[in-house]
């Protein structure tokens, strides 16, 4: 972002408010947004597909961590069976949920309040 001249204080504050997601920064193009996703923005299917492709090269098992804002039992059942069908040795190691409940601390919270008004 620095090389392309997009990096500035306003963009930095928007990144803080959007919890690191480029999707909360309109100045950033779709290409960068698709390249630099947070763990919460990567689809479960992509994570499982990549884990299945790595599986033959892993001696024991992989630590698969999934991120879902509001996981349901139906979704979890679907994900676990998808992993099993793909031949994964471990269903999932962790399921991180409730992203909206996280409160990100910043060294200068006043500035993040300013960014919300942008």
55 and 75, same domain (yes or no)? yes
From the number of C-beta atoms within 10 Å of its C-beta (0-12, 13-18, 19+), residue 67 rates as middle
Task: Give the pTM.
Answer: 0.68
110 and 52, same domain (yes or no)? yes
28 and 61, same domain (yes or no)? no
Decide if 99 contacts 19 (C-beta within 8 A).
Answer: yes
Assign residue 100 a region (left: φ > 0; alpha: ψ between -120 and 50; beta: otherwise).
alpha
Integer-rounded Cα Rg, in Å, for the chain is 18
Structural domain containing residue 28: 1-38
Picking from 88-92, 103-107, 114-118, which range would have the lowest pLDDT averaged per residue?
Answer: 103-107
69 and 113, same domain (yes or no)? yes
> What pLDDT is attached to residue 118?
59
Nearest residue to 79 (alpha-carbon basis) of 38, 40, 43 = 43
pLDDT in tens, 19-74: 889 998 988 889 989 999 998 999 999 999 999 999 989 888 888 899 998 999 99
pLDDT grade for 105, boundaries at 50, 70 and 90? very low
7 and 45, same domain (yes or no)? no
Domain count, the chain: 2
pLDDT grade for 99, boundaries at 50, 70 and 90? low
């Amino acid at each position: 972002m620095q090389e392309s001249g997009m990096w500035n204080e306003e963009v930095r504050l928007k990144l803080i408010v959007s919890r690191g997601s480029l999707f909360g920064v309109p100045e950033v193009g779709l290409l960068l947004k698709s390249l630099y996703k947070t763990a919460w923005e990567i689809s479960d299917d992509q994570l499982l597909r990549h884990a299945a492709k790595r599986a033959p090269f892993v001696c024991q098992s992989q630590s698969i961590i999934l991120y879902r804002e509001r996981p349901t039992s139906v979704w979890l059942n679907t994900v676990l069976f998808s992993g099993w069908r793909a031949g994964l040795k471990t269903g999932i190691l962790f399921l991180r949920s409730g992203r909206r409940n996280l409160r990100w601390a910043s060294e200068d919270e006043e500035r993040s309040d300013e960014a919300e008004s942008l």
